[in-house]
Amino acid sequence: MSAFVAAAIIVVFLIMAGLMYTRRVSALLALPIMAIVIAMVGGIPGPDILDEVITKGSVKLHSAYTTTMFGAVLAELMNRHGIAKALVRWVAEFAGDNPYVLGMILTIVTALLFSTLGGLGAVIMIGTIILPVMLSIGISTATAGGLYLFGISLGGMFNLANWQFYVDVLKVDQNTIIQFIVPFAFIICFAVMLFLAIELQNTKNIKYFIGGVVVLLAASFGLHAGFNPTASTAVPTVAPWSMPAALVVCGLMVLNAIMRSRSKTASLTWLALITPVLPLFLVLACGWGIMPAFVAAIAFGVLATWQKDSITMLTRAIIDGITTVIPAIFLMIGIGMLIASVSHAKVAGAISPIIAGIIPTTAIPYVIVFTLMTPLALYRGPLSLWGMGSGLITLVQNSTRLSGQAIMGMLMSVGQVQGICDPTNTHNIWIATYLGTDTQTLFKKTVLYAWLCSVAGLILACVFKFVPFQ
């Protein structure tokens, strides 16, 4: 009987995957529908479907989507005050006109901005500034699109709102996420440097490539002590100096706001340009939680750009910012329902033996199997965190010996191919359209480099001993 139930659940997965792949049903609808149908097929009692799957499942990721809302408010505030545009223009003005150097710097700036920003609106806003700058110095359309996609993906790794999902679902602590992401970011930066050096086809850029590698190696060695893979993964404590420092900075920013108000200053100053990086600093250097870091950055951004209508602008930023992430929040609600459904004893008991027989649990098979399965992250497939994979994550964790850290490492690794290359991403579609090309061209241009990053990420997870070697 359990074999029949398992087969029926797999059929439901395949049908819904097909509907999402053909775009007949969006993921927003497919995930909650899948959750309910799987619950029914799996034999979960009606009262449990109503209470455990729908009611409790819909709020299962409440921390993740609350964090997303605060991040969206900060992003909208930056948009309204033109902080992101000012930062890009300032960098473009002072970075010179060398295609390699400027291409790398603009990619890093893109990553910096998307550690805070998110959504198609932000992609369009930044893209309409960065892409023309790249094109104007001789970078081809496909290469410019690839660099922009790499920057968005790299920034997304450091987007604090995204971390909350791993904390809530996989129970991975913040310190472990930082421990993995920082060296993985260096790997992706190396891939971007290699991508740009090959695409520009100019031997003069070899010296810039070598210089970039030296900088990356120096930075990685400098940070090695702080991100020791054998170190304890306990939740980091708040740095004792950070709270008094925050109060002092707050007082100074209030004085800054008063001075701006009296002098009727409307222009941006260098203080405002600190806003995008402030949440990361508070989390990485001060040990703050993600939510307080966003709140502090919002307050800082308001005071750094203070005008007589700043309270009104903040109110509008709250309303409009949250509005922009409603689709993502509803998607998280569906993911929570799906996780609750597949985590129920009746469903998990039926499908766990199949999952246990497929998923590798030691280092070498882990790298080989997930390297070969990386394409399944495309088109919201079984390895996509924001698609079919959202339902399988919990099953994998409950059915195998893979730790939450190993699953996180896998998702972040294969997620590079999805985030950078997937032709169905709305940002890929807009970038291709804006550049007068197509998503398949961007896919072909970037997929090899993104796949190599995925392999490197899987190996890194093994180096950090997230996966046992035997």
Amino acid, res. 283: V
**DSSP 8-state secondary structure symbol assigned to residue 235:** P
Going by pLDDT thresholds of 50, 70 and 90, the confidence category of residue 300 is very high
Measured CA to CA, the distance from residue 295 to residue 439 in angstroms comes to 37
pTM: 0.77
pLDDT value at 7 more than 90: no
Going by pLDDT thresholds of 50, 70 and 90, the confidence category of residue 340 is confident
For residues 455, 461, 464, 466, the Cα torsion angle rounded to the nearest 10 degrees is -150
**DSSP 8-state secondary structure symbol assigned to residue 447:** H
pLDDT digits (tens, 9 = 90+) for 163-189: 877 888 788 888 889 889 999 999 999
| pLDDT of 168 | 80
For residue 183, the SS3 value is: helix
| pLDDT of 234 | 47
Measured CA to CA, the distance from residue 167 to residue 331 in angstroms comes to 17
pLDDT digits (tens, 9 = 90+) for 223-280: 655 444 444 444 457 888 899 999 999 999 999 999 998 888 888 888 888 888 888 8
Expressed in angstroms, the distance from the first to the final Cα of the chain is 34
| pLDDT of 231 | 44
From the list 293, 253, 257, 299, the residue with the least C-alpha distance to 277 is: 293
Give DSSP secondary structure letters for 73-90: HHHHHHHHHTHHHHHHHH
Q: What percent of the chain lies above the pLDDT cut of 70?
A: 93
- Is 412:119 a contact under the CB 8 Å cutoff? no
pLDDT value at 145 more than 90: yes
Q: Which domain holds residue 211?
A: 63-227
pLDDT value at 451 more than 80: yes
Tell whether 182 is covered by a domain. yes
**109-130: average pLDDT:** 82
Tell whether 453 is covered by a domain. no
Question: Sign (positive/negative) of CA torsion 243, 248, 249, 250?
Answer: positive
From the list 391, 468, 409, 417, the residue with the least C-alpha distance to 169 is: 391
**Which of 63-77, 140-154, 452-466 bottoms out in mean pLDDT, i.e. has the lowest?**
63-77
Give CA separation, 312 vs 80, 81, 316, in Å: 12, 13, 6
Tell whether 410 is covered by a domain. no
Measured CA to CA, the distance from residue 266 to residue 259 in angstroms comes to 11
Amino acid, res. 158: F
| pLDDT of 15 | 84
pLDDT digits (tens, 9 = 90+) for 200-213: 888 888 888 888 88
Can you read off the two tokens belonging to residue 262? 């009296």
Tell whether 392 is covered by a domain. no
Tell whether 163 is covered by a domain. yes
From the list 67, 72, 63, the residue with the least C-alpha distance to 170 is: 63
Measured CA to CA, the distance from residue 114 to residue 125 in angstroms comes to 12
Q: What angle do CA 291, 453, 166 make, to 5 degrees?
A: 25
Rounded to 10°, the helix 120-136/99-114 angle is 170
Domain count, the chain: 1
Measured CA to CA, the distance from residue 56 to residue 59 in angstroms comes to 6
Tell whether 327 is covered by a domain. no
Amino acid, res. 194: L
pLDDT digits (tens, 9 = 90+) for 12-37: 877 887 777 677 887 788 889 988 99
pLDDT digits (tens, 9 = 90+) for 346-382: 887 777 777 777 888 889 999 999 999 888 887 666 7
| pLDDT of 455 | 96
Tell whether 360 is covered by a domain. no
| pLDDT of 229 | 43
Tell whether 116 is covered by a domain. yes
Measured CA to CA, the distance from residue 465 to residue 462 in angstroms comes to 5
**DSSP 8-state secondary structure symbol assigned to residue 56:** I
pLDDT value at 316 more than 90: yes
Give CA separation, 325 vs 64, 161, 415, in Å: 12, 11, 20
Give DSSP secondary structure letters for 89-134: HHHHHHS-S-HHHHHHHHHHHHHHHHTT--SHHHHHHHHHHHHHHH
| pLDDT of 336 | 84
pLDDT digits (tens, 9 = 90+) for 374-414: 888 876 667 777 666 666 777 787 778 888 899 999 999 99
Q: How many residues does the chain have?
A: 470
